[in-house]
Amino acid sequence: MRQAGIYSGILSHRTGPHSLPLSRIKKIMRHSGSDSKAMMIAGEAPLVFSKACEIFIQELTARAYEITVLGRRRTLQKDDIATAITVTDLFDFLLQVVPESADAGDGAAPAAGGRPIDDACELLL
């Protein structure tokens, strides 16, 4: 079995199991190649992707939770994530992936806390 490299301790501050399965990350990396040839992947590359995915998920969750709190709720919902993606320029690359929520289109439907979603977006800006 392959030992964790030097980057494992630097990236995750631990040498044990990682939050995301490395085998799944390797599979995604292999299928994303433009050639159908077998791609060789260095042992540290999936570790770097794993840490990058962890940071991405943490950042998106933090931004979406801000929307949740502005809506005077405690449960993170799909619409909160979609709003965080719409409001944050950093996540513009996800605009085509995440569908617009049904109530955000007309602007008249209030969020669960009674405040329209447009007001929540303006507060974040």
* Residue 109 pLDDT grade (very low, low, confident, very high; cuts 50, 70, 90): very low
Kindly report, residue by residue over 36-81, the tens digit of the pLDDT.
Answer: 566 788 888 999 999 999 999 999 999 999 999 999 999 999 999 9
CA distances from 28 to 25, 54, 119 (A): 5, 16, 39
Q: Note whether 116 and 109 are within 8 A (CB).
A: yes
Whole-number mean pLDDT of the chain?
A: 76
Per-residue pLDDT at 9 exceeds 90:
no
Cα(86)–Cα(64) distance, rounded to whole angstroms? 10
* Residue 115 pLDDT grade (very low, low, confident, very high; cuts 50, 70, 90): very low
CA distances from 60 to 27, 33, 64, 98 (A): 24, 26, 6, 13
Per-residue pLDDT at 85 exceeds 90:
yes
Q: Note whether 36 and 20 are within 8 A (CB).
A: no
Of 125, 123, 107, which Cα lies nearest the Cα of 70?
Answer: 123
- Say what angle helices 45-70 and 78-87 make with each other, to 10 degrees: 100
Domain 6-124: CATH superfamily, name plus number: Histone, subunit A (1.10.20.10)
Per-residue pLDDT at 94 exceeds 90:
yes
Alpha helix stretches (DSSP H) within 2-124: 6-12, 22-31, 45-70, 78-87, 102-106, 117-124
